[in-house]
């Protein structure tokens, strides 16, 4: 169920889910004149999700509350930024709304947690307003909040180009189990982009091959072609730890393993639930943020 609409005390409140994304591939094509990079990525959403509850309040403005104390509560929260952009696009005054977010997607993990919260708010507000925007129009509204938001609005399996906002839907990833594991060290996304500018990218994902594999519906071929150029420019000590997680995933039967976004989360694709559960159990001993999920 995508949306669950509830009526509590006649105040319309809505609960919705924000799915995490993973990168099946990530390539950096070059730096643009506007300072951004041209990217080419195959994205996949998974069942790991945050839960958002939207409730109108009595004249207290727009408020965001989350279960993580270090996250911004005001307009700096991407969920609030999305709500403001939505009302702006509709030509309406901001409403009095409480957004409560139960975070499960780890923060700064390469899984687009913040962007997916923003996207969930856009979808929910659009539904509450009687769907004035098509999904494509809504994705366009999301572009102003962040480059990953348009993808998160549409979800599923997609090719993302440009800054990430130029989207082409792809054949769905064959059903599989996913184990995602976020090690405990912080990755600086700007620093990684700077490193990739100064390094020669020696290996790139075979994106065309990945699209073929998706078209053929072959999980094995998809898993074999996963690749992320950022893994090669991680500081050495971190590179070794991501490699170690991937090694455990493969050892436990993953058909392939990859780092997502600018990391540090690594994940594996499994065709066997049992193998996926074993991988989860093995990684959970060392890493609290280990998740077993499925593709959406």
Mind telling me the catalytic residues? 21, 148
What would the x/- binding string for ligand ATP be over residues 248 to 277, using CB under 6 A? -------------xx---------------
Angle, helices 113-128 vs 135-143, to 10°: value is 130
Return the residue of 44, 45, 115, 126 that touches ligand ATP, per CB under 6 A.
Answer: 115
Q: Which residues contact 7 (CB under 8 A, 6 or more apart)?
A: 13
Q: Which is nearer to ligand ATP, 42 or 219 (CB)?
A: 42
Beta strands 97-102; 256-259: pairing state: unpaired
112 in contact with ligand ATP (CB under 6 A): yes
Return the residue of 22, 89, 109, 283 that touches ligand ATP, per CB under 6 A.
Answer: 109
Considering the complex, what minimum distance in angstroms separates the CB of residue 115 from ligand ATP?
5
Beta strands 289-294; 97-102: pairing state: unpaired
What would the x/- binding string for ligand ATP be over residues 11 to 50, using CB under 6 A? ----------------------------------------
What would the x/- binding string for ligand ATP be over residues 82 to 101, using CB under 6 A? -------------------x
Q: Which residues contact 175 (CB under 8 A, 6 or more apart)?
A: 294, 295
Q: Is 30 helix (H, G, I), strand (E, B) or coil?
A: strand
Q: Which is nearer to ligand ATP, 148 or 165 (CB)?
A: 148
Considering the complex, what minimum distance in angstroms separates the CB of residue 14 from ligand ATP?
17
- Kindly determine how many residues on this chain lie close enough to bind ligand ATP according to the rule CB under 6 A: 20
10 Å Cβ neighbour count for 67? Answer: 12
150 in contact with ligand ATP (CB under 6 A): no
Q: How far apart are CA 192 and CA 198, in angstroms?
A: 10
Give the pair of three-digit tokens for residue 190. 């700007």
Q: Which is nearer to ligand ATP, 109 or 255 (CB)?
A: 109
Return the residue of 14, 71, 196, 296 that touches ligand ATP, per CB under 6 A.
Answer: 71
Per CB under 6 A, contacts with ligand ATP among 159-198 are 189
- Buried (b) or exposed (e) across 19-46, using 16+ Cβ within 10 A? bbbbbbbbbbeeeeeeeebebbbbbbbb
Considering the complex, what minimum distance in angstroms separates the CB of residue 77 from ligand ATP?
4
> Would you call 161 exposed, middle or buried from its count of C-beta atoms within 10 A (0-12, 13-18, 19+)?
middle
Binding site for ligand ATP (CB under 6 A): 71-72, 77-79, 101, 107-115, 117, 148, 189, 261-262
């Amino acid at each position: 169920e995508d949306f669950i609409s509830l009526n509590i005390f006649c105040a319309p409140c809505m609960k919705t889910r924000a799915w995490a994304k993973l990168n099946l591939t990530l390539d950096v094509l070059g730096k643009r004149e506007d300072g951004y990079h041209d990217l080419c990525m195959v994205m996949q959403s998974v069942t790991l999700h945050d839960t958002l509850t939207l409730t109108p309040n009595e004249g207290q403005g727009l408020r965001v509350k989350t279960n993580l104390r270090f996250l911004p509560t005001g307009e700096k929260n991407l969920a609030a930024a999305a709500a403001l952009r939505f009302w702006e696009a509709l030509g309406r005054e901001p409403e009095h709304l409480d957004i409560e977010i139960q975070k499960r997607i780890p923060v700064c993990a390469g899984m687009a947690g913040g962007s997916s919260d923003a996207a969930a708010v856009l979808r929910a507000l659009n539904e509450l307003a009687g769907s004035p925007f098509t999904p494509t129009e809504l994705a366009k509204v999301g572009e102003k909040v962040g480059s990953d938001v348009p993808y998160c609005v549409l979800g599923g399996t997609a090719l993302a180009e440009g800054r990430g906002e130029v989207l082409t839907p792809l054949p769905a990833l064959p059903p599989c189990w996913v184990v995602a594991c976020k090690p405990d060290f912080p990755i600086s996304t700007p620093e990684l982009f700077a490193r990739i500018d100064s390094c020669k990218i020696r290996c790139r994902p075979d994106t065309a091959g990945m699209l073929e594999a998706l078209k053929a519906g072959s999980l094995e071929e998809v898993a074999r072609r996963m690749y992320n150029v950022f893994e090669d420019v991680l500081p050495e000590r971190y590179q070794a730890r991501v490699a170690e997680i991937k090694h455990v995933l493969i050892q436990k039967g993953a058909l392939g393993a990859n780092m997502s976004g600018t990391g540090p989360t690594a994940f594996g694709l499994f065709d066997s639930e049992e193998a996926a559960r074993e991988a989860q159990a093995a990684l959970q001993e060392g890493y609290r943020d280990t998740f077993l999920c499925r593709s959406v």
